Structure 1
């Protein structure tokens, strides 16, 4: 999904390209199907996403696998998800009893917007202590930003997360769809349970991310920045005005950093882009604000 926003400063047109790939937010959509069925430990990273099982943290871990008898979101053998709290021997029983804290976030700390995911707390019997409710919270830099409570036994559209339960009455899984409040976060935590007597299983699949939409008034650098010429042959002039201490990165369309410069203090900075012709993206950061700018080299 590409979202383009055009703004004009000092007569120059800047095209802000907000792209839901690894270009700026280093998380990527993930369905786990490219992984092999395997135990994954308590801290596992793939495709720019870091997964952690903080609690419980003994005799169980995470695993990439498919279990159609227990999890409706992985109905086929080749449709894998990521399961939290699997026995270290690989048995899907949720051996650890107590509170749970399951996390996923960007591996490099960059911000993202979560759009949707499949999530399932299993079809295990509640009489045996299995729980089907969780609090889901979005964090940025360790601070809680947005939170919602999910009861996986019933659909719910009333809060910031819409939960659409699968029609199978024996299942406790479905799709979570997130409102715009779930952007500009870097981590998501599922928490709940009780200190004794509860067992939690959580399978997630089909993670859909996008780069957060940067509001000009709240999140973007709002000073007058001019960048020219654009398109360019090789030299790009950046006029930062009164801005100081700018961090600059240039990405190619694959998300690779091809140039970077930290702590720029000059009002006028000249960048020579020694790269092949094509589309590039400049990312500017100053304190807690940022801007992404699309440039074309001919």
Structure 2
């Protein structure tokens, strides 16, 4: 048997193994996502009475809010807009896999968000190399934060989950992305607004033991241009402790969706001593809502 024939057999076997691993991994990943999705929806159902919420937005609740916050809600919501209880966001974009270099990889994702008990489940597939993909879950479910990444859906390359700073960081993501489900930012939904100046305001939200305050910046059209946290856990440093860095999200390209104005592009960045470093850029492809009856 020639060397070339042996090489062909080996390569063929490797291809078969890779296909098998991908199929098994995809099945196991899908099962895990179904389990976590059930937990997300159950937490939402169990929290239906969390707030004595009106079914629709009443513009009178804006009275007394800081001026830029009033302008924002009047720009994106019409009086009588139904209150969002859940959203499904399909997106594609790219992620920088390196904290110091430029290693951008494309992704596609589907995200489920619930607002009665604040939570989300982001299920993404990142194309690492041709023929090699990683599945990623980023979630905040019933006060539990989770970031899991597995090559082929089988081999873990990241697994951080629990409460404390992990949960706090994931809750920050939920809050910073709320312009995609803007009725969740209303005072009637548990958010307190405090004015900073004519273009900025602080918003505070609580879920169980976690209370967050983020800085919202508004553009000349009255729309939210960015959301910043003074500190968010950016992973473990050399000493094993969580590295805390300012975290900034930019939002743009607002378009009508579900009777509201919603940003269709977003990016996330860490603000390091060397400057702002973007690590995520995404574009919404499809957006659907469920409202209070």
Structure 2 length as normaliser, TM-score? 0.24
Structure 1 length as normaliser, TM-score? 0.23
